[in-house]
Structure 1
């Protein structure tokens, strides 16, 4: 990537057009500007006037938010080696990209945002027809909030025959439109229908899985199910994001739009984060509800810390993540035992994994090794995924897959897309899953998945 500190939009366009004409090739140009503070969700809401797809990401544990609109570039891959293929496309794109930026903040400039399906070999259905198996976009306009500082990035493909004044007018008009921070009121549509998809058949599948685990087919398998909602009006995704932001602390909040369909959620589960080559991953497996009082909450937490089934499930995840991280990193540090990770409705067992990413390795290398973790697939990994592919009727699509972002300075973060919903106009599909081991009880696993529906169901107006 070619980096310069050109100060004005005129200089940016002049340099980009000159290079495009010299090479007779299109150029990716990225211009970063410091802007006055603006609420990211209001930015996202206002961006609907652009008529393009929108993207949103908020970190779980720091004051970092991105909201984007439009696609300057889309990266997609149907290949078996989809993570490597996306990385290759990104590298080729960055070789001749121009970045005009005096700030050098993470999440600014060229940023790829999107995700990957859980299983690219699972037969796809109409449910996920709007999303590719692997799909990341560089937003045309990207608002980034880092602490108290706000930035706007304009990303664009410049062609040799483009006209300077037309580009300048287009960019300035879009910027003015997007930065109009209007107050906005949100309303929640009423749920007309709430349908769990074949719950009894799902319980029978859990029973079948316990029998197969006893027979040695797999050690553990994660099974998911779906709930469908129908509303009396179209769902306002900005309103959903606001409700998630208000209620789901310690969670990544995300929304990815494709062809008018939105995948949105609030997940507590980090897959991996890389910043300045420092790597952080998370083992988050084992679940119990929050208590209604402080005493009950502490009692439930202690029960979780002592529960053999949940501890066993957690250790499955710890071992797998350790092996994956060690292949790409050095100085790996893992605590000996988990602690509690509290959310609004649930609490989980939590173990952080820290390391230093080796030179020559990328964030997507780690994502490829980590996905799917035992918390979302099972063990052994290959056998568990094949079991899900054969017996689970749900088309997971991006549910339980890696979603996130990375930038041109090798910063980035991916989370596991749980606690999520696929929303199109006045309909939504919610997803929930749980780990099944040999002594799992179908009714208890059903109740666990019901609890895990709660975060998304509540912000959509359900009980």
Structure 2
């Protein structure tokens, strides 16, 4: 379904501006929209339009509404880069059965930065000429709140390890090859938390990740589900993880062991195969490297592969995100069987965790990450966050090791919420 205002045409104007300072410092108080990496990307605020979707049609209803709105909109774009003109920020539930559904939000103001070019887009939904905008910097806190309490979410650690053991039994019985099992943790802070502070801390600590905020879901993901830019398709696949020690020499040895690990290489192969197979119908050619590289992040290291392709059929980035979701990196292999097992044993609704999050412009270009290393902000209680982490389980996995891996993956968002 879509909300009633979703089909109203937009009026959008994009102009070049001088450097206004860090993108995240431009966000005013209130709901924040952000997609930033290494100081580049997009931030937005206000709401010119919202499109919602539920169930299995959550992607389809959103993309149809956005395509109709984009085709009828009045656009004056003096910059003409991916991400200029009207832009919709989006976030979609992992499961079609989740009440979280999906959403596209078109802000009233977007500020973008790419390769030394800065721009300002103003958008209205009433055919009025957008009003001038005065940009103001709001410097953010550089320290996380103190005295944050973390408690188990849907399952206590021992219960979650038991679920992992059950999944391993199912894998060894030949029912599935790989299952990604997730867990949640609830954070309660001693004071109200401004989500903008969390975003600033994440962006500062994890500059190689995409820091995002859409409809209360915020985080810093290392995984690009799909990027579409002028016909070139890119997807970064991460699967296979090892925790860092903060000792450079030891970490290099761990990276080498990760690159040789049969368990992690098997898990990674499943994920890469699922992405390549999903992209193939939409691309004239696809390129899959013969072996992964090791991606070094401050808290963990991942096996990573960048899959690329040339678009063949005019599909939008949102279409591609829908086609790729869920990949083996967040669900498993075979995907239908893994999804059924997740629903049976995980014991929680993931909401929009592990679903696509990102943006799409009027031309269909865009960037969609996987909502990992993330937390759902409670709009009614600014002291409560729901945190998520997941691990790929294959034959030979160990429940204790998977729990440790999940704790490592929780470190980024925990670190932004506590000190």
TM-score (norm 2): 0.93
Q: Which residue number corresponds to residue 187 of structure 2?
A: 229
Partners of 2:316 and 2:90 lie apart in 1 by 17
Partners of 2:112 and 2:176 lie apart in 1 by 44
The equivalent position to 2:371 in structure 1, one of 403, 411, 417, is 417
Partners of 2:319 and 2:111 lie apart in 1 by 27
Q: Which residue number corresponds to residue 148 of structure 1?
A: 116
Partners of 1:266 and 1:139 lie apart in 2 by 21
Q: Are positions 1:135 and 2:103 aligned together?
A: yes
Q: Are positions 1:212 and 2:170 aligned together?
A: yes
Query: Structure 1 residue 85: deviation in Å?
Result: 2.4
The Cα RMSD (Å) is: 1.8
**Residues 111-139 of structure 1, C-alpha deviation per residue, up to 9 Å, x if partnerless?**
010111000214x4xxxxxxx41101111
Query: Structure 1 residue 289: deviation in Å?
Result: 1.7
Q: Which residue number corresponds to residue 32 of structure 2?
A: 54
Deviates more, 1:211-220 or 1:343-352: 211-220
Query: Structure 1 residue 148: deviation in Å?
Result: 2.3
Partners of 2:140 and 2:330 lie apart in 1 by 37
Query: Structure 1 residue 337: deviation in Å?
Result: 0.6
The equivalent position to 2:237 in structure 1, one of 275, 279, 283, is 283
Partners of 1:360 and 1:392 lie apart in 2 by 37
Evaluate the alpha carbon distance shift between residue 344 and residue 371 of structure 1 in structure 2; reply closer, same or farther with a 3 A threshold. Answer: same
In the TM superposition, 1:19-98 aligns within 5 A as 27-38=9-20, 39-44=22-27, 47-48=28-29, 51=30, 53-59=31-37, 64-98=40-74
Query: Structure 1 residue 187: deviation in Å?
Result: 5.2
Evaluate the alpha carbon distance shift between residue 99 and residue 332 of structure 1 in structure 2; reply closer, same or farther with a 3 A threshold. Answer: same
Partners of 1:192 and 1:263 lie apart in 2 by 19
Where 1:37 maps in the other structure, the secondary structure is coil
**Residues 194-230 of structure 1, C-alpha deviation per residue, up to 9 Å, x if partnerless?**
2123111111111111111122222211111111111
Deviates more, 1:450-459 or 1:283-292: 283-292
Query: Structure 1 residue 110: deviation in Å?
Result: 0.7
Partners of 1:431 and 1:26 lie apart in 2 by 36
Q: Structure 1 stretches of 5 or more lacking a match?
A: 1-24, 125-131
Q: Does the Cα contact within 8 Å between 1:189 and 1:234 map onto a contact in 2?
A: no
Where 1:264 maps in the other structure, the secondary structure is strand
Query: Structure 1 residue 26: deviation in Å?
Result: 5.6
Q: How many residues align?
A: 407
The equivalent position to 1:443 in structure 2, one of 380, 385, 400, is 400
Query: Structure 1 residue 233: deviation in Å?
Result: 0.6
Q: Does the Cα contact within 8 Å between 2:244 and 2:251 map onto a contact in 1?
A: yes
The equivalent position to 1:245 in structure 2, one of 203, 206, 212, is 203
Q: Does the Cα contact within 8 Å between 1:58 and 1:64 map onto a contact in 2?
A: yes
Partners of 1:313 and 1:73 lie apart in 2 by 40
The equivalent position to 2:385 in structure 1, one of 423, 428, 436, is 428
Query: Structure 1 residue 231: deviation in Å?
Result: 1.0
**Residues 331-374 of structure 1, C-alpha deviation per residue, up to 9 Å, x if partnerless?**
21111011111111111101111110113322223212211111
In the TM superposition, 1:311-326 aligns within 5 A as 311-326=265-280
Q: Does the Cα contact within 8 Å between 1:230 and 1:428 map onto a contact in 2?
A: yes
